[in-house]
Amino acid sequence: MLKRLMKNISLLMVSQIISYVLLFVYTIITARYLGVTEFGTLSFALAFVTIITIFTDLGLNTVLTREISLQNSLEQRYINHIFSMKLILVFVVLILSSIYFLLMQYPLDTLYFIFIISLSVIFTTFSSFFYSIIQAHENLKYQAVGSVLSSSLLLIGILLVEYLNVNAIWVAISYLLVSVIVLLYILFFYSNNFILPKFEYNLNFNKLILKDSLQICLIGLFVTIYIWIDSMILFSIKGGFATGLYGVAYKIMLFFYFIPLAINYSIFPVISRLQSSNRLKLKQLLEKYFIFMIMISIPICIFITVLADKIIISLFGNGYLESILALQILIWSILFAFTASPFSELFIATKRQIIVTKITGLCMLGNVLLNLILIPKFSFIGASVATLLTYIAVGVLIIFLGYKYGYLTLEKSFLVKILKIFIANFMMAIFIWLFKSFNLIILSIISIIVYLAILYILGLINREEILNYSL
């Protein structure tokens, strides 16, 4: 099991790194090509689409993955019923979205832009459905390839748009075309390894599924809202220019989310099994995951904070100079998002998702309120502060409950590791500050080497620790 888990984590980690790098390059080219205002419109459109996508899922993918992971004899029945429900949900969501478009007073070109990107929901919904089945069987190579394929095609699309110097609407069209191609890809491989789903409907069975999935859906909805609602409120109050400045800083922050995402995809089925078979091993796994998240998130935050000006100017140009402070604020959100990740997965895998639902729901309301208070006065800087405060609240509450339920203990050895991590980061921060005039790429590489060397000297990474990493 350990060998398979590490293989899946490594595979997804590599694919996510490649994918996120390609998407980051795509973001840089798109931001430069569109300019601040039109890039702000794109950010708004993607925020809108991300939120409505939640309603085409309703937590069904997570339930499907969990039930298959538990080797449920009703696997195919779950697949058929959830597939059928998704068909209905996609139709309803698109109808309601169309009504929303007609009611809004946005310019016609903005409405066309949003509508075309919204159509991609049809295809991404079913791609994620097939991915969730593959995830449950812990055979993630297709998802890894699909992730790289999607980001590669998006990058090719924006390069063609830039080369042909065509209207911005073609950026939206490229999103739609890529979603179609990715679905065809995963459908081809899925049909060669699994039985294709068919339409099947049973009211009582659907109620049973939805009773479980809606709690998970609320988590996804609340998280998605507090991640993306700031861009929507910002666009509505301050327009495309402010949203564009905020968007580039936010994209840099989101770039690093491939790390917990890749690990969570691989570890979720394992947590589902260990929660009923070996609580001690589950606790050890979660604590090591938690330590690892601290070990990698803090240096990222420090590096980005100290070098934010060089990063923004080098990547996006002087037109985005005002994004520097927003980036320095937003980047610290990943510390709390990363460290809460092990326990969020735990509560969902152990069917205690109501805990995460309540936390994210409360913090989502707080986030909306903060945005409505701060954005009118402080624009995108206010949105940045609201986002950071929300991530802090969610992270602290989830970690505390992980501790309360006994999955995190403050033993001396654990606290010593935390202290050593802080010492290593303090020393690395001094190094970066002293040599911040160096070339950005060279300084990045040297900083990583320095940080790893300090961790090695302090005994936090060594051959024995790696070999003893067991479940």
Name the pTM for this structure.
Answer: 0.74
In this predicted structure, what is the pLDDT of residue 20? Answer: 78
In this predicted structure, what is the pLDDT of residue 12? Answer: 62
Lookup: tokens for 400: 């505390």
- Angle at CA of residue 239, ends 234 and 244, nearest 5°: 75
Residue 265, C-beta contacts closer than 8 angstroms, at least 6 positions apart: 8, 12, 135, 140, 143
CA distance 109 to 111: 5
In this predicted structure, what is the pLDDT of residue 255? Answer: 82
In this predicted structure, what is the pLDDT of residue 8? Answer: 54
Q: What is the pLDDT of residues 87-96, one digit of tens each?
A: 888 888 888 8
Residues with pLDDT less than 50, the chain: 1-2, 466-471
Closest CA to 265 of 177, 349, 169: 349
| Cα distances (angstroms) measured from residue 24 to each of 95, 389, 405, 408, 464 | 32, 25, 38, 35, 36
